[in-house]
Amino acid sequence: MKDFKYYLNSISEIGFVEEASNAIVHISGLPKVVTSEIVIFETGKIGIVLSFTSEIVEVLVFSKEPMGQGTKVVRTNEFLKVPVGKELFGRIIDPLGNPLTSMDAYKKPEESRGINSLAGGILSRKTITRQLETGIPIVDLVMPLGFGQRELIIGDRKTGKTNFLMQTILAQVKQGHICIYAAIGKKRLDIKDAEDFFKKHGIFDRVIIVASGFDDPIGLSYLVPFSAMTISEYFRDEGYDVLLALDDLTTHAKFYREISLLGKKFPGRNSYPGDIFYTHAKLLERAGNFVTEKGEKAITCLPVVETVQGDLSGYIQTNIMSMTDGHLYFDSDLFAKGRRPAINPFLSVTRVGRQTQSTLKRDINREILSFLTISEKMQNFSHFGAELTEASKVTLAVGEKVIKFLDQGPSTTMPINLQILLFSMLWDNILQNRNIEPIGADVNKMIEIYKTKPNVSRTIDQTITDAKTFNDMLKIMREKGEQLLSSLKS
């Protein structure tokens, strides 16, 4: 982009700042300006046009420096773009494409894209049929996700939502996909923690972090999810499946509310502007499963929303629930009990995930959910102090084993075939009243053996392929379950 003098000489239109209030500046002049056009101030700062009347132009600026009355402004006849390309891998950038960390060896991509592209139409989309593996049993087996799904991650603060995103990104990068993490108005320490996690696990070269700090101009924070989505669209068109995590849209909504109130828009419910639903809907609609020139490619979007004391009926919460294909609810009570991840399967929904599962996986899904329902009822019944029957005690004991199996450490990802094998072993042991518990062994060691010994992983994968239903799987476990288990321990 050229400087102030270039556009003044080439376009020959000038405006003047009439009023400035934090992120919003009102300008007179610029008779041919259009919405979303970039304007440049004589100080070198830039902004975009939000709206205009015959007398006043409303501009969102990307700087905290105060604009003095009478400051000159020119329009550029250009629209906001973000640089896109493989040069962004392993970088933390702001929504304008500027690096937020060391610029050593950083080469800015030559290609750029407008951040406000339209969502693809129905003819460019395809039914979601491929399962996205998170490496977390309670999600992969109980609340499955599909490539191209928009799944809301919702729950109180400090319940493990960001940890879940990190685990999912870790699992996806290891499968060869590209991941983009959008940190909206985060503390610098939180952004650094995310970077350290990716570097520790050796995946930062396939991850891009688009971030804004809580002390950055609110105009920049507002743009973060749109820039991240634009970068995702670029890699989708290049032939990659992309996972996009938006952390979080509650903060984004607050920034947009502040911008709207400063712009003197009429406030609606909870003082949010009337177009807050449209703003988030046009963003999330850009994700999905698409037919591209390079085949079927998807942008899977995981927006995060924070609740207060577990209230799922808040304005922003219900808005985004209605835009997405389900939600994973992180329960603060389960978190306090030590469950990791603290996902409540009874209050979570996946609208399209189950259609991606095979018959075997659907059988396991039904088995786990139906048993957890019974176990939960027994647990609630026992709180009344009633004397439990022997059958009820057995149900509660088995429930603890299943829950223990579904728990997962913060840096661990378990391949889905290994999840199926271990759960089948556990369930067969329960049915046969045996005390052998595969989950009692060192699961991390089993995962390492599965990933590093091709002969073991091939045998397990073939076993899963041979089993068409869960009953078939249980029969196989009775025949050679101990042999498979011993191969994972040696």
Q: Token pair for residue 299?
A: 């942008």
For 449, the enclosing helix (H) or strand (E) is helix 443-452
| Per-residue model confidence as pLDDT tens digits over 90-147 | 999 999 999 988 666 788 899 999 999 999 999 999 999 999 999 999 999 999 999 9
Backbone angles phi and psi of 465, in degrees to 5: -65, -40
Strands 24-29 and 92-93: unpaired
| Per-residue model confidence as pLDDT tens digits over 6-43 | 999 999 899 999 999 888 999 999 999 999 999 999 99
Using 50, 70 and 90 to split pLDDT, how confident is the model at 433? low
CATH topology for the 360-489 domain: 1.10.1140
Cβ atoms of 145 and 350 within 8 Å: the answer is yes
Q: Token pair for residue 36?
A: 């979303």
- Say which of 125, 130, 351, 362 is annotated catalytic: 351
Q: Token pair for residue 149?
A: 């799904």
Class of domain 4-79: mainly beta
Cβ atoms of 207 and 235 within 8 Å: the answer is no
Q: Token pair for residue 368?
A: 């786990």
Pick from 229, 254, 255: which is nearest to 243 by CA? Answer: 229
d(CA 183, CA 222): 11
* Whole-number Cα distances in Å, 479 to 12, 378, 428, 463, 483: 83, 33, 11, 12, 9
| Per-residue model confidence as pLDDT tens digits over 51-81 | 999 999 999 999 888 888 999 999 999 999 9
Answer whether 82-356 and 360-489 agree in fold. no
Strands 288-292 and 326-330: unpaired
Please classify residue 334 by burial: count the beta carbons closer than 10 Å to its beta carbon, then call 0-12 exposed, 13-18 middle and 19+ buried. Answer: buried
For residue 149, pLDDT beyond 60: yes
Query: Is 351 designated active site?
Result: yes
> Is the pTM here over 0.85, yes or no?
yes
Residues 6+ apart with CB under 8 A from 440: none
Q: Token pair for residue 392?
A: 């009820």
Cβ atoms of 354 and 362 within 8 Å: the answer is yes
CATH topology for the 82-356 domain: Rossmann fold (3.40.50)
Residues 6+ apart with CB under 8 A from 453: none
Q: Which residues is 211 bridged to in the sheet?
A: 183
Radius of gyration of the chain (CA): 26
Q: Could you state, in order of their start, the residue ranges of all structural domains in the chain?
A: 4-79, 82-356, 360-489
